[in-house]
A = this chain, B = another copy of it.
């Protein structure tokens, strides 16, 4: 019987591991709860109506269908039986492995306030993105109908919590929607009067980036009407807005739309691995792996992507797509090296740089010694994202949609969908939390 490699998760880490094992003499099984690979870096564009879900997702079976040694199982791993070397799925099936690659990523985390989730959705899944899209669009619809100025103002106020790349990109897209996309769409309100706040606990947005780029990002955000509040913590979120803490001062912002781009928590499989093997987790629940990405004492288990905690040159390897891809490829190389009894160097993360867009024509880029911003950074962002998705089928669609949106200032995928899309209650205040899709 061939060596059995089981990969949990079809995100960047898991998918690239599977693809890198294409020509290996082993049987590969990819297990995911979802039937598609999601190009998560563009999820904020679905949330803001720029792209359709299908344009940033590819069916896993399709992506892997020519890979004869690989099969895909739709299912959720609920336990890893280390002694038996098998994975227990929620439907009761046991999947045995010789090597296990765990790549189940991370979800958002509300710093001990799970009750905030209903009021401030995060952005990890397609459903999150369509829910956020619905909330944003309905807020403008409610404002168009509001006769009470305070209600109208609350409906036209948007708060993005977290000034990392996701928060900056979301806030920038909100600025563009209000200042550009919707500018001719309403009759009673001027969407450009929307108040958009970006809240960051540290002293600047994009904290790990060079300070000059944080400043460039803030300037680009200002051009789109986004107000940045740094050194500010969120101490409360409910259906009417947020409470902010700045030093000793506490203020309330009335806002009907609050989006969460702050905390990240590793997948629960980290906790399960820790319980079953004694491996240590970091504060965010990530698994502290060996330099070759394996678990201490369990070389047959490798952890890659956002679930893995690894430091390099004293700095943590960031939870970004390129790191997950590189780790997925490394894990595949580990499997191949062992099958051939070869030695392999430890994992080394090659930081190709970071980019974040802020509306049309603006981005910030931190690429090795190069720090730049503005239109050139935006073109670099565009080019690199198109390169990354070049392996997937959807690149041409995205190019066409982007080109069309760029020249028409439109966002074609601005659909209000879901359970309550057709109910008037949805237009009433404070009902956004009832959307389940």
User: Residues of A with Cβ closer than 8 Å to B?
Assistant: 33-36, 51-55, 57-59, 61-62, 65-66, 71-76, 89-91, 93, 126-127, 137, 141, 144-145, 182, 184-187, 393-394, 396-397, 400-401, 404, 408, 410, 412-419, 421-424, 427-428, 436-437
Question: Interface SS of chain A: helix, strand, loop or mixed?
Answer: loop
A76 to B91, CA, bound (A): 42
A185-B65 contact, Cβ under 8 Å, with A55-B52, A418-B127: yes
The answer to whether B417 touches A184 (Cβ under 8 A) is no
- The chain B residue with its CB closest to the CB of A125 is B422
Q: Which 10 A-B pairs have the closest CB atoms?
A: A54-B413, A52-B54, A90-B424, A52-B52, A61-B185, A65-B184, A33-B422, A71-B187, A437-B437, A91-B424
Number of this chain's copies in the assembly equals 2
- The chain B residue with its CB closest to the CB of A426 is B74
- The chain B residue with its CB closest to the CB of A437 is B437
The answer to whether B393 touches A397 (Cβ under 8 A) is no
The answer to whether B34 touches A412 (Cβ under 8 A) is no
The answer to whether B415 touches A53 (Cβ under 8 A) is yes
Nearest Cβ distance between residue A108 and chain B, in whole angstroms? 15
28 residue pairs from A and B, CB less than 8 Å apart: A33-B421, A33-B422, A34-B421, A35-B416, A36-B414, A36-B415, A52-B54, A53-B54, A54-B55, A54-B412, A54-B413, A59-B185, A61-B182, A61-B185, A65-B184, A66-B184, A72-B185, A73-B144, A73-B145, A75-B424, A91-B424, A91-B427, A127-B418, A127-B421, A393-B404, A393-B408, A436-B437, A437-B437
The answer to whether B397 touches A59 (Cβ under 8 A) is no
- Knowing that A53-B413, A91-B427 touch, tell me 5 more A-B residue pairs with CB under 8 angstroms: A33-B421, A52-B52, A53-B415, A62-B410, A127-B417
The answer to whether A427 touches B74 (Cβ under 8 A) is yes
A126-B427 contact, Cβ under 8 Å, with A33-B422, A61-B185, A71-B187: no
A55 to B237, CA, bound (A): 35
A307 to B58, CA, bound (A): 39
List residues of chain B with CB within 8 A of the CB of A184.
65-66
The answer to whether A415 touches B54 (Cβ under 8 A) is yes
The answer to whether B145 touches A57 (Cβ under 8 A) is no
A428-B394 contact, Cβ under 8 Å, with A52-B54, A65-B185: no
List residues of chain B with CB within 8 A of the CB of A52.
52-55, 413
List residues of chain B with CB within 8 A of the CB of A422.
33-34, 76
A145-B91 contact, Cβ under 8 Å, with A412-B393, A422-B76: yes
List residues of chain B with CB within 8 A of the CB of A65.
184-185
List residues of chain B with CB within 8 A of the CB of A413.
52-54
